[in-house]
Amino acid sequence: MTARDFEWNIQPQICPHCEDFKPAKLIQKKQVLTIGGMRELPPHRIMLPSVEVVVCKECGREIFTELVDDLTLKRFWAIYQLITGMNPIPFFMRK
């Protein structure tokens, strides 16, 4: 499941920069996140070449949306688990 599955449902969002409800759109961008320092493991910089983010159509800045950002964080966490040898089945896919 990706944020693209929900693209049709992106309603006007409150843009923190414009400080008003503005039309929003879904774009692709590269994102890097440093995860680690847990259980004596060193931090890892993980780069996803293509993640979905919601941006304001007027000013072009990113807008936090729980659904889209949660999907991205789950992707980062799954990669971190594979790199560190933690449970290879992502926590969000467990029964």
Per residue in 19-49, pLDDT tens? 999 999 888 888 887 776 656 666 777 777 8
Please state the separation of Cα 17 from the chain's center in Å: 20
Task: Answer whether 0.85 is exceeded by the pTM.
Answer: no
Q: Is there a contact between 30 and 47 (Cβ–Cβ < 8 Å)? A: yes
CATH classification (class only), 3-85? alpha beta
Percent of the chain having pLDDT more than 70?
Answer: 71
Q: Please tell me the predicted confidence (pLDDT) of residue 56.
A: 92
CA 84 – CA 36 distance, rounded (Å): 9
